[in-house]
């Protein structure tokens, strides 16, 4: 959750997404804002312009409440084709990369077996900008950058994460393309890298780079592999923390507890980046320093009836693995997101849709 944050009013969308010219005053204000990690009250407002993407009228109210209103604050959302550029920081196995690439490719695989990752993304597509344009259905895997020699060390702060991204887009050899209109930058740290507040408070977060550091305002997310540091927290329910006695871990669908746990966090952050890239679009609460976004509202909910320490109704494969969505040749366990039409958390594996 952002700290030491200066309150600011939501800004209208810039003509070219995220703009290339930002005033010194705005840069100064942004320098006090930390990346977005959410808290968990629940909204109830609806949005319009969702006829083509509606899911139905059944109501189970997973996570629903009238305490907090999810509202649109007039900022830009990602309506153009979304390209995810990946930075692999640290030591990664080929098999681990294939699992994560498989998930990213599954988001737009519309012919996937039901319940599918693409079906999950349809909920994200319900959100619009002030022109009425919906979030793009197209999410593609862009360029990749390997930082296998830990260019910024094995202990990263939130600010140094932006320096890692800067190195990736300004490298002399095969730099990542700078795409301020529809590019997302996904920084993934291996299980031997510690990131500020990792495990204690966050498993991942998203924000945007400061022009004073990178030269552009680029939306990015960081997600860490918790396999050796806190698997019971960030890889739940494939691993269970000691403070939850009586619960048994379930079998991960791709045979890698750390990476399978990362998938849901990656999904969480990409959904929020698409709907709130500059922290002035879709969120609940009055203060952008403490936003509750569409995935925060459904923290820990993976199926019908989910809430608290109960994940909800999941699927069990013949091999004993637990999942809730099908991807391209793989299965995944992905947290639900808030559905603004139904006014509660929703996913493609819901039993009532």
Q: What is the pLDDT of residue 184?
A: 95
Mean pLDDT of 145-151: 97
- pLDDT, residue 153, reads 98
The model's confidence at residue 267, banded by pLDDT at 50, 70 and 90, is very high
| 34 confidence band (pLDDT: 50, 70, 90) | low
* Average pLDDT score over the chain: 84
Identify the CA nearest to 263 among candidates 305, 196, 324, 320.
324
pLDDT of residue 324: 98
> pLDDT tens across 73-86, in order?
999 999 999 999 99
Band the pLDDT of 194: cuts 50, 70, 90.
very high
Classify residue 13: in a domain, yes or no.
no
Residue 205 lies in a domain: yes
Q: Is residue 170 situated within a structural domain?
A: yes
CA distance 181 to 15: 10
Secondary structure of residue 231 in the 3-state scheme: helix
Query: How many C-beta neighbours within 10 Å does residue 232 have?
Result: 20
Q: What is the pLDDT of residue 288?
A: 80
Q: Is residue 20 part of a domain?
A: no
Query: At 251, phi and psi to the nearest 5?
Result: -80, 130
Query: Could you count the other beta carbons within 10 Å of the beta carbon of residue 32?
Result: 12
Question: Could you read off the pLDDT of 77-123 as tens digits, one per residue?
Answer: 999 999 999 999 999 999 999 999 999 999 999 888 999 999 999 99
**What are the backbone angles phi and psi of residue 304, rounded to the nearest 5°?**
-55, 130
Least confident of 23-27, 61-65, 97-101, 331-335: 23-27
Give the structural domain span for 181: 70-346
Output 285 or 303, whichever has higher pLDDT: 303
> Interior CA angle at 127 toward 126 and 130, to 5°?
135
pTM of the predicted model as reported, rounded to 2 decimal places: 0.85
In a domain, residue 276? The reply is yes
Q: Please provide residue 261's backbone torsions phi and psi, each rounded to the nearest 5 degrees.
A: -70, -35
Q: Domain count of the chain?
A: 1
Which residue's entry shows tokens 């091999």?
Answer: 319
pLDDT over 50 at 72, yes or no: yes
Which residues make Cβ contacts (< 8 Å) with residue 53, sequence separation at least 6? 122, 125, 126, 134, 341
In a domain, 209, yes or no: yes
Element (H, E) at 195: strand 194-195
Tell me whether residue 62 is in a domain: no
pLDDT for the residue 244 = 83
How many residues are listed for the chain in this entry?
353
In a domain, 188, yes or no: yes
């Amino acid at each position: 959750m952002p700290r030491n944050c200066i309150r600011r009013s939501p800004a209208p969308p810039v003509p070219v997404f995220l703009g290339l010219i930002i005033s010194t005053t705005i840069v100064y204000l942004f320098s006090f804002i930390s990346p977005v990690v959410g808290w968990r009250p629940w909204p109830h407002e609806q949005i319009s312009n969702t006829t083509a993407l509606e899911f139905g009228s059944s109501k189970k109210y997973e996570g629903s409440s009238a305490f907090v209103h999810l509202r649109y604050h007039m900022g830009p959302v990602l309506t153009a084709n979304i390209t995810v550029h990946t930075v692999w920081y640290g030591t990664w196995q080929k098999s681990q990369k294939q699992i994560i690439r498989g998930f990213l490719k599954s988001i737009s695989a519309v012919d996937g077996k039901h319940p599918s990752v693409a079906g999950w993304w349809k909920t994200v597509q319900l959100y619009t900008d002030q022109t009425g344009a919906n979030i793009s259905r197209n999410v593609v895997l862009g360029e990749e950058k390997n930082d296998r020699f830990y260019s910024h060390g094995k202990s990263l702060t939130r600010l140094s994460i932006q320096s890692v991204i800067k190195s990736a887009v300004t490298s002399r050899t095969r730099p990542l393309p700078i795409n301020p209109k529809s590019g997302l930058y996904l920084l993934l740290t291996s299980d031997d890298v510690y990131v500020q507040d990792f495990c204690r408070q966050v498993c991942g977060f998203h924000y945007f780079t400061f022009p004073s550091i990178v030269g552009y305002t680029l939306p990015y997310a960081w997600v860490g592999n918790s396999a050796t540091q806190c698997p019971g927290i960030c890889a739940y329910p494939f691993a269970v923390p000691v403070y939850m006695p009586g619960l048994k871990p379930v079998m991960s669908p791709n045979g890698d507890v750390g990476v399978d746990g990362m998938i849901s966090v990656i999904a969480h952050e990409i959904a929020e980046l698409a709907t709130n890239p500059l922290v002035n679009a879709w969120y609940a609460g009055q203060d952008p320093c403490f936003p509750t976004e569409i995935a925060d509202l459904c923290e820990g909910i993976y199926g019908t009836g989910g809430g608290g320490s109960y994940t909800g109704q999941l699927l069990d494969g013949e091999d004993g693995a637990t999942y809730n969505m099908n991807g391209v040749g793989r299965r995944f366990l992905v947290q639900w997101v808030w559905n603004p039409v139904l006014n509660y958390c929703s996913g493609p594996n819901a039993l009532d849709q």
